[in-house]
Structure 1
Amino acid sequence: MDRTTATVAIVSGVVGQVCALLGLWLRLRWRVWHEQAQRQYLASTVETLASGGRLKVDEQKADGHRLRMEISRGPARTPEGEE
């Protein structure tokens, strides 16, 4: 193996490892961003309901799944027979 072939092999190995590490880092950043968005959505939902508000959700995913729900906060009910 001459010097040029060895250099190319080493550089190729290093570049491959750097690309793999960069891919993992980008995936981690996307996941952190996604989890922060979910946390913010959940916090705003809970805040809306805690203030006595009403919440309607109608979400449609790209794969065709749909979620519809309506949540409202009302006075607490006691089971029948208890007072």
Structure 2
Amino acid sequence: MDSATAAVTIVSIVMAKGCGLLGLWLRLRWRAQQEQARQRCLAGVLGAAPVGGLLEFETAGTDGHRLRMRLRPAPGGRGGV
């Protein structure tokens, strides 16, 4: 094997590994942005909740990422006024 073939082989291997690593990094970055958006949403909802209100919270598995919340006014309260 001559030096040109060896260089092309080495560059190909390095580029393949680099592209794989770049793909994983982009996926991790996207996931982190999704989690930050979910955190902002939850913080906004909880900030708007009435004092003494009740929060019902439900979540699902990792593949569905379902989240269900229900805010109810405090028992005997005036409903967030």
RMSD of the alignment, in Å? 2.5
Conservation of the 8 A alpha-carbon contact between 1:52 and 1:72: no
1:29 alignment counterpart: 29
State, as a whole percentage, how many aligned pairs show the same letter.
Answer: 51
Long gaps (5+) in structure 2? 54-66, 77-81
TM-score (norm 2): 0.64
> Using CA pairs below 8 Å that are at least 6 residues apart, which structure has the higher relative contact order?
2
Long gaps (5+) in structure 1? 54-66, 77-83
Conservation of the 8 A alpha-carbon contact between 2:52 and 2:73: yes
Deviations 1:3-53 (A, max 9, x none): 111110000001011111111111111011000000111111111113578
Structure whose alpha-carbon radius of gyration is higher:
1
- In structure 2, the CA distance between the partners of 1:8 and 1:42, relative to structure 1 (3 Å rule), is same
TM-score (norm 1): 0.63
Count residues in correspondence: 63
